[in-house]
Amino acid sequence: MAWDGVLKKIDDNRWEIPEGYIPGMNTNAIIYADETMISQIREDNAPQQAANVACLPGIVGSSLAMPDIHWGYGFPIGGVAAVDANEGSISPGGIGFDINCGVRLIKTDLVYDDVKDHMDQLMDTLYANVPSGLGSKGLKKLGAKELDEILQNGSEWAVENGYGWEKDLEVTEEYGHMLSADCSVVSDKAKKRGLSQLGSLGSGNHFLEVDVVESVFDEKVAETFGLKEGNITVTVHCGSRGCGHQIATDYLQNMEQYIKQNKISLPDRQLACAPLNSDLGEDYFKAMSCGANYAWANRQMITHWVRESFETVLGNSSESMGMDVVYDVAHNIAKKEEHDVNGKRSDVLVHRKGATRAFAAGRKEVTQKYRGVGQPVIIPGDMSVGTYVLVGLDGAMRDSFGSSCHGAGRKMSRKATSNLNASDITSALSGKGITLRNGSDEGLVEEAPQAYKDVDQVVSVVCNSGLTGKVARLRPIGVVKG
């Protein structure tokens, strides 16, 4: 359904839906997009969702949408909203069902010549070692006590149990462990769904990608991140699997009851929420933190199996190949942070749904390794074009609660891709020198490159807006899709 609402141009990269466009708005909504993107953004009802979010109780600043905006559950995907930490509400629709879906980037000291003759074997090994696809199960069998430890401790559990290196934690957002987690508020059903899936990619838009650093735009920052033109990298995109999905489902049901019982007026029931300082709001935040920890442990275990795969195929140790984690970012999460609101330093809860934290240099939350330059921001495109590495800038701290886009963003629904042909997609990728491993033709068609916006355009908007700066671009040579 096309959206024909009021949209005022602020500048070349921002558009405003004014406060008052619909009843109940507590602020305006701002969409980041250039002139050529805005007509495509109007093609679904996602701008209406950005306006709806402006009705969230306790929202501060503007309801924001990044250029990868598209239709989601309650919030648009690409949405950012901050609420007052004392008087605001928390909404599961502002985080999403795949809690802490995120991206991890692993560098190597290898170059293309080191892997070009081994790509088939390497991709076969990665495909075998990192389970993917709908309902995929991890290689590690867990007991209930172990799962509780994972929900509590995230990546720390994985490293302590031999899945990765201690220094991986230093370059993971929140060090891979949200301290606010409390596994006692996670349902048995959510735990049961998580027992068999740890260490798996899943399906949908999740992927594992082997890339070459094709271009470096900022030599100083790239050097700090450990990225060098011509080197091989690995990108992993996945989240909290069925565990996170069930946590979201459970609390959405509870919050729908809460807004009915308390007669809270919202333009869309999918914005169901509860005060952050209520028992329900606090319990959801604790449970969401558990889902986030599960996702970080998931990507940590996948990192271990990626390293093992390279060792098996290339015959060298992962240490000697320089297989360090560059960074791990969450892009479906809510965080308690300090930001300037109307010229005053304030405690807020920032919902980021399909949006990446993009903190500038100097923020204490940025690991010491990168604090002098800013946080890495990892932005995948579609499977044919690869990934951008950006860095957070002061403009993000001023204008977007330290946030940027999370990927190219869909422009076609999964249903709309059904007339595409899987063999054509495979041939097109092969023609670009990309070795593909995928679990199903249906999944491949749903994630066809044609389904996504132009990542160059999306990245240009967030960079031209001063939210982020370009550091490097990665070109895919191998893709695993669920």
Q: What is the distance in angstroms between the CA of the first residue and the CA of the last residue of the chain?
A: 29
Contact 116, 383 (CB under 8 A): no
d(CA 385, CA 194): 32
What's the one-letter identity of residue 135? Answer: G
Helix axis angle, 279-314 relative to 241-261, nearest 10°?
170
Both tokens assigned to 314 = 């290339």
Rounded to the nearest 5 percent, the helix, strand and coil shares of the chain are 35, 25, 35
Contact 478, 210 (CB under 8 A): yes
Helix axis angle, 144-153 relative to 279-314, nearest 10°?
100
Contact 331, 356 (CB under 8 A): yes
Half-sphere exposure of 255 (CA within 13 A, CB side): 31
What's the one-letter identity of residue 474? Answer: L
Minimal CA–CA distance to 306: which of 377, 383, 209, 385? Answer: 209
Among the options 206, 245, 351, 406, which is catalytic?
Answer: 406
406 among known catalytic residues: yes
Residues belonging to the active site = 406
